[in-house]
Structure 1
Amino acid sequence: MSPLGKKLVHLDLKGAPPKFDYLLKLIHLFADLGANGLLIEYEDMFPYEGDLESIRASAHPPYSREEIAILQDTAKSRNLEVIPLVQTFGHMEFVLKHGAFRELREVGHCLGTLNPHKERAVQLVLEMLRQVMELHPGSSSLHLGADEVYLLGQGEESRQWLTSPNRSVHQLFLGHVTRVAKAVRDRHPDLSLIMWDDMLRGMSLETLKESGLVGLVQPMIWDYSPVLDVENTVLLMDKYSSSGLSQLWTASSFKGSTCVHTCVPSTQRHVDNHLQWLKVASSRPAAVTLQGIALTGWQRYDHLSVLCELLPVALPSLASCLQTLIYGSFSAEAQTRVTEILGTPTEVEDISSLSPENSTSFPGQKLAASMVELTSLLQSEDLRLFESNMYVRGWFTPYHRRRKIAHPLIAQQIQIQVMALLQAVEPRAEEVRQEMGLLYPQATVEEWAEQHVSAVLAPLHSLLKDLQLAMEDMGLHAPVPPSGW
């Protein structure tokens, strides 16, 4: 057992939800890599019913009730614990974006934070929890979310509530969390409840002692930094344990925490985060019991942001992080084990160096390899900085484009260079599109393509179109631009 306890792989399904057959393959792989459980954040991929049916995903169907049962049976067959995660306070964008629930926002322009004063808001989250737990009868733990409750206390009802003496935003937060947690515990007396810790960090020891959380929830301390502050994290653990919250979880990251629009993760960055957590575990206060660590794999920063790295390109990172926890370091043995299981180097950027005869592969490896190559092309300076090209800056500026003025010889040079770039990128982009379509819903394929490919290629297509119009306006022949993404 790792000094950090159980090893949970976090499945964030609020973006790029895998097709179900691929999801089952991933669950088997997670078990092969040494995971003990799954922390599943369904969000709108859960088949909510009744008054909650409108919060289901609309771009593609959510997983069915039957699929969720199969998912759990598959996990159980591989000795993986399943812990559902349901947001109950912050990050409620997938619910509060809908008109039917708009009045339940703490502040109108913040889609993520629930108004804790509305009885309907409380009943909403309790019904979400009821439906999720109904489909997870074998789960012994439930994660209540409750992180990043932005702008809490700024709504009109909250401001009124805070005018009474001895009331604070901390108490406002704790009041909602304890009410929800107690209601769940009343229905499921033996259920262990987990919550993110960030809203607790600024609370005093006395506030935590009197919070009502002791014996009710287990905080999950999260930090995804490769230079995680070990000393201060240990001090935070000591504060929690001194308040009576001695059963703690931790959360690291194997993807989705570098930058909001990252496409390919750095294994070393995420391994470094886990090495810091191992230092925390070895220095933790004696009173602290570490229940486990959740290796988070965020698919979006929030419901409305762009897609982060897809799972296939992050599997070498996940494998390396899990083996680091198992071996206690990112040793040669740990790296060899990653290669044995996945058949790839530990850094996904090196996946293209594999020989075609390589017999071992992981589910989604072909997509990962194509995506690494495509991302490299999309990030090349020749492509991204093309409008700073000497010919464009000198002879086809916005001034020239608006007035349809083009030097024929220079225009020809620009066209040749643009066509060469597009011909290098678009076949690889189409290959990624085809491979992604095998593993993900078409809506995910289109979203990823628009965000990460079309956004880069659109300026080139626009430039070609303007060149064509300028040359035609001058009575000159111009090649028709390719139809691309």
Structure 2
Amino acid sequence: MALTNAHKLVHLDLKGAAPRIEYLQVLFPILKKNGATGLLLEYEDMFPYVGQLEELSQRYAYSKDNIAELLQLAEDNSLTVIPLIQTFGHFEFVLKHEKFKSLCELEGYPSALCPSNADSLTVISMIIDQVMTAHPAIQYFHIGGDEVYHLGVCERCKRKMLMENWTVQQLFFAHVRAVCLFIKEKYPHITIIMWDDMLRFLELPVLAESGLGSLVEIMVWHYLPSFLLPPDIWDRFSKVFSNIWVASAFKGATGACMYATNIMYHVDNHLTWLSVLDHIKSKFENIKGIAITGWQRYDHYAILCELLPQALPSLLTCLAVINRETFTSSIHSDVTQQLQFQGLLPLNPFEGKDIPACEFPGSDIYKDTIELLRLEAAYEDFLHSEGRLSWMNEYHMRRNFTNPMHLEALLAQAVRLLNGLKLLHKKFETSLNIVFFPDTVDEWCGVYLKPKIDKMTDIVELARNQDRGSSLET
């Protein structure tokens, strides 16, 4: 029962497909009902920055009033709010702007900032101050710190390491300490959390000398059903950190362009976490909580993956697994009933089974996504079919060198597919606009539907323009 009194946080990754506040109004009560105790809010460019940071906010960023309403909704539903602001790697939302490009560790690569540039801490401090001001009642603050891919490579950092006789790891520690000390000095009531992956392979003496044990609580993330963490990680971490958090996933962890969620994959991840936590709980003073992450992009420049409403069945199933510390047919039935599925909730949409009717907030997006999954399979089958490649290839059609005996049937098939894609596009525009802002609707349709519609339109028009008289009419 390692998580009995621990926080159960739902991670909202807002760097893509951020929901409208109206959707959060109906979502938060559902989260409370299903045992969530808090939110890990990764704002990135959705926060309403002002002054020197104003350009960091994207066009549809939440307003100051939106943030206040979000926090009130969270309070009304007994959800602790923990802001997450990246302070080292994954800093693209800042470094992509001309004004801040000088802070890049590797020129032209906006992934990580330079820890040896004095302006880096200045900018981070301004970001933290603005987020703190908007969240006066918070107890925890997450500083990110994961996947710092460019570290110690610029000339400024090389000189710094040479002067201080530092390793790359010590350079990392120095920057994290500086961020933490800024927070501790200005906001002494705040407990700081950071991701663990930049620490998980370090030897114990290096970890102990980092100085981070007294400054942060680490959050160990792992999203696979079978664990690949170092076997001695818990012994090493427990000797440096008294308290620990962990992180699982309910979506956004099986592929950067995956748009449908395999629920059973994430159930297995949670079952493994429960087993691990049961074995390691005696090593730490407290297992503070678990964050169920729901990644919306793999980084600031990646395309959108699984949308939140589409993955709500996965989230509720994972919450049930955490709270009951098992997965049973009874849990499966309870989630099915809550989401009003007219038949058991499918745990793996890739099996090709029919999806029962359902009714929950955002269920139209869920159903449209499953339809896209089926339609995309038909699209790929058609494009790569022997008949299409042999008798309906673009090279021959552009030269009006086709056989109507084969082309007529292929054209009828292509028209049906094209009409299906166009109809789904319209359905998505309707369902997405209810939950998301226009930029999300445009991006989702522009990535997952429009290229297929354009491709099929070209094929159909080429086929219809063959000089075969009425034999090609449909």
SS in 2 for 1:10: strand
1:44 Cα deviation from its structure 2 partner: 0.5
Partner of residue 181, structure 2: 182
* C-alpha distance in 1 between matches for 2:46 and 2:312: 22
Q: 1:238 aligns with which of 235, 238, 241?
A: 235
Question: 1:384–1:456: 8 Å Cα contact kept in structure 2?
Answer: no
Mapping of 1:53-202 within 5 angstroms? 53-58=54-59, 61-164=60-163, 166-202=165-201
1:166-210 Cα shifts (integer Å, max 9, x gaps)? 411101111101001100110111100000000011222111111
Deviates more, 1:385-394 or 1:371-380: 385-394
Q: 1:320 aligns with which of 317, 327, 338?
A: 317
1:355-387 Cα shifts (integer Å, max 9, x gaps)? 5xx7xx32111221222122221123xx11323
**Cα gap change, 1:287 to 1:450, in 2 (>3 Å):** same
SS in 1 for 2:232: helix
Q: 2:264 matched to 1:268?
A: yes
Partner of residue 299, structure 1: 296
SS in 1 for 2:10: strand
* C-alpha distance in 2 between matches for 1:336 and 1:391: 44
Partner of residue 310, structure 1: 307
Q: Residue type of the partner of 2:373?
A: T
SS in 2 for 1:206: helix
Partner of residue 6, structure 1: 7
1:411 Cα deviation from its structure 2 partner: 3.0
Mapping of 1:316-465 within 5 angstroms? 316-344=313-341, 345-347=344-346, 349=349, 353-354=355-356, 361-380=359-378, 383-465=379-461
* C-alpha distance in 2 between matches for 1:103 and 1:462: 44
1:263 Cα deviation from its structure 2 partner: 1.1
TM-score, length basis structure 2: 0.93
* C-alpha distance in 1 between matches for 2:326 and 2:233: 24
Question: 1:44–1:62: 8 Å Cα contact kept in structure 2?
Answer: yes
* C-alpha distance in 1 between matches for 2:392 and 2:356: 42
Question: 1:32–1:341: 8 Å Cα contact kept in structure 2?
Answer: no
* C-alpha distance in 2 between matches for 1:420 and 1:114: 50
SS in 1 for 2:250: strand
TM-score, length basis structure 1: 0.91
**Cα gap change, 1:279 to 1:372, in 2 (>3 Å):** same
Question: 1:2–1:325: 8 Å Cα contact kept in structure 2?
Answer: no
1:272 Cα deviation from its structure 2 partner: 0.4
SS in 2 for 1:106: strand
* C-alpha distance in 2 between matches for 1:394 and 1:343: 46
Percent identical across equivalent pairs? 36
Partner of residue 222, structure 1: 221
1:233-274 Cα shifts (integer Å, max 9, x gaps)? 6621210111x2121100000000001111110110000000
1:165 Cα deviation from its structure 2 partner: 6.9
**Cα gap change, 1:389 to 1:379, in 2 (>3 Å):** closer
* C-alpha distance in 2 between matches for 1:285 and 1:14: 33
Unaligned runs of 5+ in 1: none
Question: 2:103–2:113: 8 Å Cα contact kept in structure 1?
Answer: yes
Question: 1:2–1:326: 8 Å Cα contact kept in structure 2?
Answer: no
How many residues are treated as equivalent by the alignment? 467
Question: 2:86–2:145: 8 Å Cα contact kept in structure 1?
Answer: yes
* C-alpha distance in 2 between matches for 1:171 and 1:333: 50
* C-alpha distance in 1 between matches for 2:81 and 2:71: 7
Question: 1:351–1:369: 8 Å Cα contact kept in structure 2?
Answer: no
**Backbone CA RMSD of aligned residues:** 2.1
1:331 Cα deviation from its structure 2 partner: 1.9
Question: 2:2–2:287: 8 Å Cα contact kept in structure 1?
Answer: no
SS in 2 for 1:326: helix
* C-alpha distance in 1 between matches for 2:354 and 2:24: 24
1:453 Cα deviation from its structure 2 partner: 1.3
**Cα gap change, 1:369 to 1:20, in 2 (>3 Å):** same
SS in 2 for 1:385: helix
Partner of residue 35, structure 1: 36
Question: 1:275–1:324: 8 Å Cα contact kept in structure 2?
Answer: yes
SS in 2 for 1:112: strand
SS in 2 for 1:125: helix
